[in-house]
Chains A and B, each alone.
Chain A
Amino acid sequence: DAKTTQPPSMDCAEGRAANLPCNHSTISGNEYVYWYRQIHSQGPQYIIHGLKNNETNEMASLIITEDRKSSTLILPHATLRDTAVYYCIVISAGGTSYGKLTFGQGTILTVHP
């Protein structure tokens, strides 16, 4: 699976949009981009995933560049409860990698009042 690069930390003011970038320049055509987050003392929480097109759900939006080498997770109106470690991972649609998620160090997002 392609390796991802994320900034180690970011700050965001409450109520503002949080834009978390992720680079995955070696991504291949059948690999999805997934975002998870982990709040202290909880298991990772699935946020959103996409292949080529931008995606939106009740939690966030995912913007994938046309060349698919990078993506941005957008939390449109960040709240204090969104403070967490955010992980961007890439995983292929098949083969043997299935659930062997490899979480890097992620981005520590701190939302402040």
Chain B
Amino acid sequence: GAGVSQSPSNKVTEKGKDVELRCDPISGHTALYWYRQSLGQGLEFLIYFQGNSAPDKSGLPSDRFSAERTGGSVSTLTIQRTQQEDSAVYLCASSLKGTGGGSPLHFGNGTRLTVT
């Protein structure tokens, strides 16, 4: 079946502009995650959605970052007033269940954001 889909695959924006990144998780997956990966670095957790529960926003680096998940499916990550340090690959993942123990995460190929 279809995997996690992210769009756009690449986004170049000017400093100070707002951007929206989209994630379509695997159908039926109740949990959705956003990570970012800077060049040559590991994954940095941003936010986690599980069903109808309040999202875990503990990884969001500043109040310029926000995310929503509509209807328990598609998610949008919004970055306001982008800065050059926001340049990274933003990865979305979904899993069948929320607990990490027996439910692997499946990642999309990410959106490469470049802030000029």
User: Chain A: residues with CB nearer than 8 A to chain B?
Assistant: 30-32, 34, 41-46, 49, 51, 91-94, 96-105
Contact = CB atoms under 8 A, between A and B. Distances in A.
Nearest to A96: B56
Contact of B99 (A43, A45, A94): A94
Contacts, number: 72
Interface in B71-116: 91, 93, 95, 98-102, 104-110
Interface stretch (B14-22, B40-48, B60-68): B40-48
A5 to B, nearest CB: 14
A98 B42 contact: no
B106 A98 contact: no
Contacts of B43: 44, 101-103
24 contacts: A32-B100, A32-B101, A42-B109, A43-B108, A43-B109, A44-B105, A44-B107, A46-B106, A49-B102, A49-B104, A91-B101, A92-B100, A93-B102, A94-B101, A97-B100, A98-B48, A98-B50, A99-B31, A99-B33, A99-B93, A100-B59, A101-B100, A102-B43, A105-B42
A28 B63 CA distance: 35
A43 B91 contact: yes
B110 A43 contact: yes
B99 A93 contact: yes
B50 to A, nearest CB: 8
